[in-house]
Amino acid sequence: MSNLFLRRLPVLALTLAALFLAQPARLAADLVWKPGTGWQVEGGAVSGLLGSDGRNAVDLMNKAREAEENKSVGSALSSYNKVAKKYPNSIYAPEALYRAAKLHLSRKEYFKAFESYQGVVGRYPNSKYFAEIIGEQYRIASALLDGARNRTWGWLPGFRNREKGIEYFEFLLMNAPYSDYAPLALMNIARGHQKLREPEEAIDALDRMINSYPQSLLAPDAYLKLAQAHAGLVEGPYYDQASSKEAVTYFEDFMILFPSDPTIAAAAKGLDSMKVVIAESKMKIGDFYLYKRSNFKAAKVFYNEAITAYPDSEVAKRAKLRLVEVEAGAEGKPVPPEAGKKKRFWLF
Q: Over pLDDT 90: what percentage of the chain?
A: 75
Answer for the pair 111, 129: CB distance below 8 angstroms, yes or no. no
What ranges do the domains of the chain cover?
31-106, 107-199
User: Rounded CA gap, 198 and 13, in Å?
Assistant: 59
The average confidence (pLDDT) of the chain is 88
* pLDDT value of position 135: 97
CB 227 within 8 Å of CB 254: yes
H-only helix segments in the chain: 3-21, 24-27, 51-69, 73-86, 92-106, 110-123, 130-145, 162-175, 181-195, 199-212, 219-232, 242-257, 264-287, 296-309, 314-330
DSSP state of 290: I
Q: Backbone phi, then psi, for 214, in 5-degree steps?
A: -65, -20
Q: For 277-318, what is each residue's pLDDT tens digit?
A: 999 999 999 999 999 999 999 999 999 999 999 999 999 999
Alpha carbon distance 217, 293 (integer Å) = 53
| Per-residue confidence (pLDDT) for residue 343, from 0 to 100 | 42
Cβ atoms within 10 Å, residue 292: 10
CA-CA distance, 302 to 238, in Å (whole number)?
Answer: 14
Read off φ and ψ for residue 127, nearest 5 degrees.
-60, 145
Range from 150-154, 188-192, 248-252 carrying the lowest mean pLDDT: 150-154
- pLDDT tens-digit series, residues 44-88: 656 666 567 778 889 999 999 999 999 999 999 999 999 999 999
Q: Which residue has the higher pLDDT, 340 or 205?
A: 205
Residue 33's beta-bridge partner residues?
A: 39
Roughly how many angstroms between the first and final C-alpha of the chain, as a whole number? 109
Task: Check pLDDT > 80 for residue 114.
Answer: yes
Q: What percent of the chain has pLDDT over 70?
A: 85
- Whether the CB-CB separation of 316 and 310 falls below 8 Å is answered with yes
What distance in Å separates the CA atoms of residue 102 and residue 77, rounded to the nearest whole number?
10
Closest CA to 218 of 185, 184, 252, 261: 184
Q: Are strands 30-34 and 38-42 parallel, antiparallel or unpaired?
A: antiparallel
pLDDT of residue 52: 74
| Dihedral sign computed on CA atoms, order 256, 257, 259, 261 | negative
Does residue 247 contact residue 220 with C-beta atoms inside 8 Å?
no
Q: Residue 51's pLDDT is what? A: 65
**Is residue 306 a contact partner of residue 279, using CB atoms and an 8 Å limit?**
yes
For residues 330-346, average pLDDT: 59
Tens digit of each residue's pLDDT (9 = 90 or more) over 8-39: 444 434 343 443 333 333 335 788 988 878 88
Least confident of 88-97, 108-117, 335-344: 335-344
